[in-house]
Amino acid sequence: MKSFVTGAAVTLGLLLAPLAGSTLASAAPAPDSTTSPAAHQPTAEARQHGITKAGEAFMGWRQPTTAAGPAVMAPTATVEGIDVSSHQGNVDWAAQWNAGKRFAYSKATEGNYYSNPYFAQQYNGSYNVGMIRGAYHFATPNDSSGANQANYFVDRGGAWSRDGRTLPGALDIEYNPYGATCYGLSASAMVSWIRDFLNTYKSRTGRDAVIYTNLDWWSRCTGNSTAFNATNPLWVARYASAPGTLPGGWPYHTIWQYSSTPIDQDRFNGDQTRLVALANG
């Protein structure tokens, strides 16, 4: 299921059986929390990035301030994509397609208290113009178990179907916009939480979820754990000319978020056939 630029093949999950389920998402349920509980008051830094209340966190809201290490060459065979959240509202998917975007991830959920009210338009709209699409979950590990949040995600848009157009769900695990950077967890507790989420997601969908993170946060909050580099595709965030040193001993990245201008920009590490292979499992 993983993508490569060259033929160094570590192929995962090729024998997955097709899963039942509709191709398109139904209308997203209303957010599960209409007010921001005290535990989810955005920090001053988060507010500077436009996160004003619970549920508004998004991929790459904060970029690392430490050096990302020596550069790793960017791949030559790539597919362009974007990721979106409620901040983008209803997306003009025809315009994104005309701009050359061929895949998209949409935020479905956050923690165990929020679902994106624009998710159906974003998830279905990208599909309807011909893109390969996926859903992501913004994790808040201090709120509930990994299993609880994985189930919450799957039940609200994070499921997978083997239609060749749906990517495995992504776990967005990064800086906490509501408090302590590592959500008050030790490195070992964070690794356990991530494992709980991933195991539950796989038991529900048959797929290994993609992990979105960056070198700085992963090193600080998991001790640069290598526990997942053989099973879960890496979506690395680094706004630079190359992906840089990868976290967690991953030998390669599958997706690279390289810019947030004018919208989060992503690059798949492989050609279109490898992107379809990732969708198919």
Task: State how far the Cα of 247 lies from the Cα of 158, in Å rounded to an integer.
Answer: 25
Buried residues in 154-179 as b, exposed as e (16+ CB within 10 A) = bebbbbbbbeebbbbbbbbbbbbbbb
Task: State how far the Cα of 228 lies from the Cα of 195, in Å rounded to an integer.
Answer: 8
User: Does the annotation mark 56 as catalytic?
Assistant: no
**Tokens 């165990």 -> residue:** 112
Instruction: With respect to residue 62, please indicate whether it lies within any of the assigned structural domains.
Output: no
Q: What is the largest CA-CA distance in the chain?
A: 50
* Pairing between β-strand 103-110 and β-strand 114-115 as defined by DSSP bridges: antiparallel
Query: Of 54-58, 190-194, 198-202, which range is least confident?
Result: 54-58
Residues paired with 39 in a beta bridge: none
DSSP state of 246: P
Residue 74 has pLDDT above 80, yes or no: no
Instruction: With respect to residue 23, please indicate whether it lies within any of the assigned structural domains.
Output: no
Instruction: With respect to residue 27, please indicate whether it lies within any of the assigned structural domains.
Output: no
Instruction: With respect to residue 18, please indicate whether it lies within any of the assigned structural domains.
Output: no
Instruction: With respect to residue 20, please indicate whether it lies within any of the assigned structural domains.
Output: no
DSSP calls for 18-77: P--S-SSPPPPPPPS-SS--GGGPPPHHHHHTT--STT---TTSS---S---S--PPPSS
32, 45, 80, 83: the catalytic one is 83
Q: What is the mean pLDDT of residues 103-109?
A: 98
Reported as a single tens digit per residue, the pLDDT across 111-156 is 999 999 999 999 999 999 999 999 999 999 999 999 999 999 999 9
Q: What is the mean pLDDT of residues 89-108?
A: 98
User: Does the annotation mark 266 as catalytic?
Assistant: no
Query: Of 63-77, 247-261, 267-281, which range is least confident?
Result: 63-77
Which pLDDT value is given to residue 259?
96
Strand blocks (E) in the chain: 78-84, 103-110, 114-115, 132-138, 170-172, 210-213, 234-237, 255-259, 264-269
Instruction: With respect to residue 215, please indicate whether it lies within any of the assigned structural domains.
Output: yes
The better pLDDT of the pair 36, 131 is held by: 131
Reported as a single tens digit per residue, the pLDDT across 160-179 is 999 999 999 999 999 999 99
Residue 93 has pLDDT above 60, yes or no: yes
Instruction: With respect to residue 160, please indicate whether it lies within any of the assigned structural domains.
Output: yes
56, 110, 172, 208: the catalytic one is 172
Instruction: With respect to residue 226, please indicate whether it lies within any of the assigned structural domains.
Output: yes
User: Does the annotation mark 83 as catalytic?
Assistant: yes
Task: State how far the Cα of 254 lies from the Cα of 274, in Å rounded to an integer.
Answer: 10
174, 208, 216, 264: the catalytic one is 174
Give the count of domains, the chain: 1
pTM score: 0.79
Q: Which run of H or of E encompasses 190?
A: helix 187-205
Which pLDDT value is given to residue 30?
42
Residue 114, domain extent = 78-280
CATH label of the domain that carries residue 138: 3.20.20.80
Reported as a single tens digit per residue, the pLDDT across 39-53 is 788 777 777 667 787
Which pLDDT value is given to residue 229?
98
Reported as a single tens digit per residue, the pLDDT across 208-267 is 999 999 999 999 999 999 999 999 999 999 999 999 999 999 999 999 999 999 999 999
